[in-house]
Each structure stands twice: as C-alpha cells, then as structure tokens.
C-alpha cells in the first residue's frame, strides 16, 4: 500500500512548507491569495459538476445531507475545532487568530476536504491500487495535492498538514477493501460523488469570495449519502 502514504506525505509536506513560507510573504500577498482560492474552488467545482450523470441522486443527497449537517450544526463544530487547532500549531507573528480568520480557515478546510478526500482521482486511484497494485493514479494525485496544500497553507497555516490523516485513513481503507467495495462503487457513482463535491466547492468559492456566507460545512454529509441514495434510487427504478 504505497499510494495512500505517498498522497498523505505530499499533503503533509506541502502543508508544512506553505505554513513555513506564509508568514514570510508580504501581507498584501497573503490577503490577495484567498480571492484566487475562491475562484479556483469555483472553477474546479464547475468542472466536476458538468460530468454528473444522475442529478436526481445528487440533489436528494445534498438536500438530506444539508438537513443532517444543519441539524448537527457541523459548521459550529468545525469552528470550535479550528479554534483549538490554532493553539496546537505555530502561529508566527500574527498572534491569536480573529473570528474572521477562523471563518476563512473553516471555509478553506471544507474545500480541501472535498479536494483531498472526495475526489474521483482519489477514489479510483485507491481502488485501482487495491485491485491491481497500480499506484500511478495516486502518484499523480499526490503531485497535485502537494502544490494545492502548499498554496493553501500560505494563508491557512500549518493546519493544512493535518488533513494528511483523513486522506491516509480514507485511501488506505479503500485500498484494503477494494475487492469488496468494487462491487458497490460503479464508475457512475464515483463521478456523481465528485460532482456532488463540485457543487459544495462552488458554494465554498462563494463563501471565500464573500459573495454569500453559505454554510458549506453543513453540506458535507451529502457526500456520505451518495452511495446509499444511489442504491435506493436504483432499487426503486427496477
């Protein structure tokens, strides 16, 4: 199992490098970069969404997932975690983060969770390695994630490196359970799950750009509901 460790290591390295370089950049650069992140998130989100095959499954997952996320108030939970994390990692010269910076961190984390943990490249790459031992797709994803983590960590800080943990756990589980999961994860489901994540990324872009404060973190449970809802819809149709 090489790919998951390689991918997690790339995120860890990129997050640490970006966090180290962030406070050494001029303030105008650090303040200008979030606009780029917002536009990139929206661009990637649109690119993923247009590939969707079953919009009814995606819409139902988003509705039910957002209802569940609002009921659990995941947004507030992530904010509390972000406040704690700010005390675990070096803060540089900036001191304690403001509420606005915490909110920006939470919005960035929601987009990174989708990019790192819920991309079709990660799903397919992990399943491919588990079934055939071919880790080339995860290797390619690792290169992309390395630079993504580095760029985001310039403003978010060392916290980005912590996302290496869920990536390792998710991709590792997919590799180890590939033979069992392959029967349940069709190519269409993987594409639709990525499209669902793409819609969440568009919402994240709106939030980062301060266009509309969409509570995107409360939408994340939709990603977990895609598989059971797709199975239910297929059963109802047949």
DSSP the chain: --HHHHHHHHHHHHHHHHHHHHTTS-HHHHHHHHHHHHHHHHHHHHHHHTT-S-HHHHHHHHHHHHHHHHHHTHHHHHHHHHHHHHHHS--GGG-SPPHHHHHHHHHHHHHHHHHHHS-HHHHHHHHHHHHH---HHHHHHHHHHHHHHHHHHHHH-GGGGGGHHHHHHHHHHHHHTHHHHTTT--HHHHHHHHHHHHHHHHHHHHHHTTS----GGGGTHHHHHHHHHHHHHHHHH-
Residue 51 phi/psi, 5° resolution? Answer: -90, 0
- pLDDT tens digits along 132-185: 788 888 888 888 888 888 878 887 778 888 889 989 998 898 888 877 776 667
The C-alpha atoms of residue 149 and residue 15 are separated, in whole angstroms, by: 5
**What pLDDT shows up at residue 135?**
86
Neighbours of 213 (CB within 10 A): 10
**What pLDDT shows up at residue 59?**
94
As a dihedral over the C-alpha atoms of residue 86, residue 90, residue 96, residue 101, rounded to 10 degrees, the angle is: -60
In the structure, what pLDDT confidence band is assigned to residue 124 with cuts at 50, 70 and 90?
A: confident
Residues 145, 164 contacting (CB under 8 angstroms): no
The mean pLDDT of 196-218, rounded to a whole number, is: 82
Neighbours of 222 (CB within 10 A): 26
Report if pTM > 0.85.
Answer: no
- pLDDT tens digits along 172-193: 988 888 777 766 677 788 888 8
Residue-level length of the chain? 238
Percent of the chain whose pLDDT exceeds 90? 13
């Amino acid at each position: 199992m090489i790919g998951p460790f390689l991918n997690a290591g790339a995120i860890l390295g990129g997050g640490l490098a970006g966090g180290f370089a962030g406070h050494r950049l001029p303030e105008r650069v650090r303040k200008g970069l979030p606009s780029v992140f917002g536009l990139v998130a929206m661009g990637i989100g649109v690119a993923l969404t247009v590939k969707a095959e079953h919009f009814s499954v995606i819409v139902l997952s988003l509705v039910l997932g957002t209802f569940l996320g609002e009921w659990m108030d995941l947004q507030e939970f992530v904010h509390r975690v972000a406040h704690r994390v700010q005390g675990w990692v070096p803060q540089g010269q900036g001191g304690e983060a403001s509420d606005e910076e915490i909110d920006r961190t939470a919005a960035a984390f929601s987009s990174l969770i989708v990019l790192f943990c819920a991309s079709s490249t990660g799903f397919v790459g992990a399943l491919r390695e588990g079934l055939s031992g071919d880790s080339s797709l995860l290797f390619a994803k690792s290169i992309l994630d390395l630079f993504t983590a580095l760029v985001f960590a310039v403003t978010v800080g060392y916290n980005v490196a912590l996302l290496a943990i869920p990536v390792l756990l998710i991709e590792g589980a997919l590799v180890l359970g590939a033979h069992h999961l392959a029967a349940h994860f069709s190519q269409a489901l993987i594409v639709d799950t990525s499209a669902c994540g793409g819609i969440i990324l568009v919402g994240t872009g709106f939030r980062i750009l301060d266009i509309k404060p969409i509570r995107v973190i409360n939408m994340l449970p939709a990603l977990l509901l895609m598989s059971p809802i797709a199975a239910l819809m297929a059963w109802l149709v047949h």
